[in-house]
Structure 1
Amino acid sequence: MSVLPILIWPDPRLSQVCVPVGAEDLSGLITDMFETMYDAPGRGLAAPQVGVLKRVFVMDCGWKDGEMMPLACIDPEIIEASEEVAVGPEGCLSIPDAPAEVARPAWVVLRWTGLDGAVQQRRLDGFEAKCALHELDHLDGKVIFDRISTEDRARIEGAYLEARQ
């Protein structure tokens, strides 16, 4: 097990669409991704954030509150989403110290393949839905800057890039 380096935006790999995994064994990568996420400390981490352009992410929305709820999602997809939208702040391990107000569906039904190869499906509500959608965006080459208005993006991105210099 090892902590992997997290790519920092605007690394071009964060803008690439990831390829499906299929039946490939990713247990080592997923173990390292969980270790990296907990070390960061974050609640979600997508493979492209550690330079692996495959459709996999890990998340644990409860660990910071004392309840471990690790979830590893291989080839995830949203099969249903609420029309109700929730707007709230989102941070990103690849864009440190630059949170943005992002609108997301209030709940989603996520389907994915687990480490055991079994297809799973679950409804995610609230923060869990937001986290899964954020990580799915990474698999599609999107970051939080791609989910906000042009004006907000210019302001937040500009301040972020200036602070990184």
Structure 2
Amino acid sequence: MAIMEILEVPDPRLRAKAKPVAAIDDGVRKIVSDMFDTMYDARGIGLASIQVGIEQAIVVIDLQEDLPPEEEGGEPRPGRQPQVFINPEITWQSDELATYSEGCLSVPEHYADVDRPVRCRATWLDLDGGSHEQEFDGLMATCIQHEMDHLNGIVFIDHVSRLKRDMILKKLAKARRAA
């Protein structure tokens, strides 16, 4: 288990654009494993390689909450459902938009409403090099688009008004000074 440092805005490395993974090997599998460890440790639902300073096109997502074990007599709790996207590409987005209050591990403890296409279709490779294509909607569509933005050097606060973005950046800077 290796926890990686998650870059936070305004770190300029978050503006880098990811390069395609040339070969899926043990090195890439180790990065993916460490990214999941890092994401779960930070209690996130998605993480792009750019956020941990790796300029390769890798995204990990798990929308399942990391809930404590079920209590006696309680409802069963869902387990983790890790998903890996290597060299992902969004091939289609719906015209219909949905607003979701997004947060980001690179913008800790700040949320803002972001409008994104309600549905999208993506292609990607898995850890075995298998090719996939799937259409997503709801939270998964929002999450994959959010993480794909990271691979292109875009942070979710780039989608909000300048006033809101400046306010978030000032609060982050103040919190860093206080820490």
Q: What's the TM-score once normalised by structure 2's chain length?
A: 0.87
Query: What is the CA–CA distance in structure 2 between the aligned matches of 1:87 and 1:106, rounded to whole Å?
Result: 8
Q: Which amino acid aligns with 2:84?
A: A
Supply the RMSD in Å over aligned alpha carbons. 1.3
- 2:12 paired residue number: 12
Work out the CA distance in 2 between the residues paired with 1:108 and 1:67: 25
SS at match of 1:79: strand
Q: Do 1:22 and 1:75's aligned partners in 2 also have CA atoms closer than 8 Å?
A: no
Q: Which segment drifts farther, 132-141 or 21-30?
A: 21-30
Structure 2 partner of 1:45: 47
Q: Secondary structure at the match of 1:87?
A: strand
The separation in 2 between residues aligned to 1:102 and 1:157, in whole angstroms, is 17
Quick check: 76-85 or 146-155, which moved more? 146-155
Structure-1 separation of matches of 2:6 and 2:97 = 30
Query: Does structure 1 retain, via aligned residues, the 8 Å contact 2:88–2:122?
Result: yes
Consecutive unaligned residues in structure 2, runs of 5 or more: 68-77
- Residue of 123, 132, 143 corresponding to 2:155: 143
Instruction: From the CA coordinates, give the structure whose radius of gyration is larger.
Output: 2
Q: Report the CA distance between 1:11 and its aligned residue.
A: 1.1
Which letter does structure 1 place at the counterpart of 2:131? V
1:93 corresponds to which residue?
105
Q: How does 1:16-35 map to 2 (within 5 A)?
A: 16-25=16-25, 26-35=28-37
**Secondary structure at the counterpart of residue 63 of structure 2:** coil
| Number of residue pairs matched by the alignment | 165
Displacement after TM superposition at 1:73 (Å): 0.4
The correspondence for 2:129, drawn from 103, 112, 117, is 117
Residues 1:81 and 2:93 are matched in the alignment = yes
CA distance in 1, matches of 2:33, 2:156: 25
Looking at structure 2, the residues matched to 161 and 106 of structure 1 have their Cα atoms a distance apart, in angstroms, of 33
Paired with 2:112 and 2:172, the residues of 1 have a C-alpha distance of 11
TM-score (norm 1): 0.94
